[in-house]
């Protein structure tokens, strides 16, 4: 699926602002190009009028051809400028939600960062809990074995003394 140029999802706020700034720079260049084309069009339109006033129809036709080419390019540039303005406006409307998304707390990410800050790796906490549980079972088992041995010894002493 193709991503639209004005779609900022997946960007952090700094990247989004840089992306918008790049679009703004493109818009400024497009505006400059449009201004230049408008000046050129005015110049060629004046030349058409001048050639006609002097009776030079061949020069007037050439000037009209140049003016038409400039007019066609001007239409393209104006459309590009409008599209850039629309994209920039759409991107600017997304900035608050991007900022809010960055401020929201992801509990899993927070837990992972906390574990890493304490020098443990994610997943080690579960392994440490398993180790603690196994150590507890080993202690209980050892205590039960020692208790059974003590009971057997006492039973042997009591049983052996009666004979």
Q: pLDDT digit string (tens) for 48-100? A: 999 999 999 999 999 999 999 999 999 999 999 999 999 999 988 988 888 78
- How far apart CA 137 and CA 45 sit, in angstroms, is 96
- How far apart CA 96 and CA 17 sit, in angstroms, is 11
Among the candidates 104, 135, 150, a domain finishes at 104
> Does 4 reside within a domain?
no
Domain that holds residue 23: 13-104
Q: What is the pLDDT of residues 18-58, one digit of tens each?
A: 989 999 999 999 999 999 999 999 999 999 999 999 999 99
Does residue 114 share a domain with residue 99?
no
For residue 126, what are the contacts with CB-CB under 8 A and spacing of at least 6? none
Does residue 94 share a domain with residue 114?
no
Please count the structural domains in the chain. Answer: 2
Does residue 155 share a domain with residue 98?
no
pLDDT at 71: 97
> Does 1 reside within a domain?
no
Decide: pTM greater than 0.75.
no
Residue 74 maps to which CATH number? 1.10.287
């Amino acid at each position: 699926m193709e991503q639209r140029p004005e779609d900022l999802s997946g960007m952090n706020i700094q990247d989004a602002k840089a992306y918008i700034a790049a679009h703004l720079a493109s818009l400024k260049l497009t505006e400059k190009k449009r201004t230049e084309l408008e000046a050129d069009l005015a110049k060629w339109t004046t030349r058409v009028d001048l050639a006609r006033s002097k009776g030079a129809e061949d020069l007037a036709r050439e000037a009209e051809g140049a003016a038409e080419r400039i007019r066609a390019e001007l239409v393209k540039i104006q459309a590009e400028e409008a599209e850039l303005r629309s994209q920039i406006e759409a991107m600017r409307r997304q900035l608050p939600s991007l900022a809010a998304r960055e401020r929201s707390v992801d509990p899993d990410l927070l837990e992972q960062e906390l574990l890493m800050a304490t020098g443990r790796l994610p997943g080690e906490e579960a392994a440490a809990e398993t180790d603690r549980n196994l150590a507890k079972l080993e202690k209980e088992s050892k205590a039960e074995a020692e208790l059974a041995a003590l009971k057997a010894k006492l039973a042997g002493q009591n049983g052996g003394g009666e004979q």
